[in-house]
C-alpha cells in the first residue's frame, strides 16, 4: 500500500496499463490530476489543446491510427459537453477512447447549487455516449476502476469508456494498492460449422468478395 492522492492513483494505474500519452485541457476541477501528470512527466506525455473538442478528437485520432487506447482529460459540464461530439464519433467508429471527466465537489453533485461547470446527471450523459462509465469515489478504488475501463475497451466490441472523478477525490490522500489489476477477456467459441460454410462459399464463388463491417 502506498499513500497517494486520487489523481496520482489514477495516473499510476494508467501507466500500469501502458498509457504514455494523454490529450487534455486543464481546469480548476482537474488541477490535482494534472499535478500527477506532471509528477510522472518522465513516463507520460501530455498534449494540451485549445479546446476540449480538440483534445477528444486528438485522442480519437490517436486511437484509430495507433490501435492503442486514446486518453483525454476535460473539466466537467461545458468542458465535457464540448467533448461529446468526439465521444459520439468514437462510439460510431468503434474506437478505444478513455474519457477522464472532472466533476464538482462530491457533496454538491446533483444538488443544483449552480457551482462552476455544474450540470445535472453528468454521469448519466457520459453513459449514453460510452460503452461503460463509472465514477471514482475514493482513491483506493481507482486501480480497480481503471482496470475495468481497460477490460471494457478490449472485451467485445471496442467503443469509448468514461471515468468521472470529483476534485476532492483527486486531492484526497489515501493508502492505495498500486499493484496492476489484471483483467480477463472473453473468448467466444468458434462456430466451426459456420466457418466451414463461409469457406465453402468463398471457395466456390466466381467473384469472391469479403465485405468487412465497422468494428470487425
Average pLDDT rounded to a whole number, residues 197-211? 89
Q: What's the CA gap between 194 and 188, in Å, rounded?
A: 14
Average pLDDT rounded to a whole number, residues 120-149? 98
pLDDT at 212: 76
Q: For 187-196, write each residue's pLDDT tens digit.
A: 878 899 999 9
Query: Residue 23: phi, psi to the nearest 5?
Result: -105, 140
Least reliable range by pLDDT among 24-28, 30-34, 177-181: 177-181
pLDDT at 123: 98
pLDDT at 215: 63
pLDDT at 216: 61
Identify the band that residue 177 occupies on the pLDDT scale cut at 50, 70 and 90. Answer: very high
pLDDT at 184: 86
Cα dihedral 197→199→205→210 (10° resolution): 110
Q: Is 132 helix (H, G, I), strand (E, B) or coil?
A: strand
Quote the pTM value: 0.90
pLDDT at 188: 79
pLDDT at 186: 83
Q: For 3-31, write each residue's pLDDT tens digit.
A: 999 999 999 999 999 999 999 999 999 99
Which residue segments constitute the domains of the chain, with CATH numbers given?
2-176 (3.40.50.970)
Average pLDDT rounded to a whole number, residues 102-114? 96
Residue 109 above 70 pLDDT? yes
Angle CA 54–214–64, to nearest 5: 35
Amino acid at each position: 500500500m502506498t499513500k497517494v492522492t486520487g489523481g496520482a492513483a489514477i495516473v499510476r494505474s494508467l501507466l500500469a496499463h501502458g498509457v504514455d500519452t494523454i490529450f487534455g485541457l486543464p481546469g480548476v476541477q482537474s488541477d490535482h490530476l494534472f499535478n500527477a501528470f506532471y509528477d510522472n512527466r518522465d513516463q507520460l506525455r501530455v498534449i494540451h489543446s485549445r479546446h476540449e473538442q480538440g483534445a477528444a478528437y486528438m485522442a480519437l485520432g490517436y486511437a484509430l491510427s495507433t490501435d492503442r487506447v486514446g486518453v483525454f482529460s476535460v473539466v466537467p459540464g461545458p468542458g465535457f459537453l464540448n467533448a461529446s461530439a468526439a465521444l459520439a464519433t468514437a462510439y460510431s467508429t468503434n474506437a478505444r477512447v478513455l474519457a477522464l471527466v472532472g466533476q464538482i465537489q462530491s457533496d454538491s453533485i446533483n444538488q443544483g447549487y449552480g457551482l462552476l461547470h455544474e450540470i445535472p446527471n453528468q454521469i448519466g450523459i457520459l453513459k449514453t455516449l460510452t460503452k461503460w462509465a463509472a465514477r471514482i469515489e475514493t482513491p483506493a478504488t481507482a486501480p480497480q476502476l481503471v482496470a475495468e475501463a481497460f477490460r471494457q475497451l478490449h472485451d467485445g466490441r471496442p467503443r469509448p469508456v468514461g471515468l468521472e472523478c470529483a476534485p476532492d477525490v483527486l486531492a484526497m490522500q489515501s493508502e492505495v494498492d498500486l499493484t496492476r489489476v489484471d483483467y480477463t477477456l472473453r473468448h467466444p467459441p468458434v462456430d466451426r460449422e459456420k466457418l466451414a460454410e463461409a469457406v465453402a462459399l468463398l471457395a466456390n464463388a466466381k467473384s469472391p468478395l469479403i465485405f468487412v463491417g465497422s468494428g470487425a
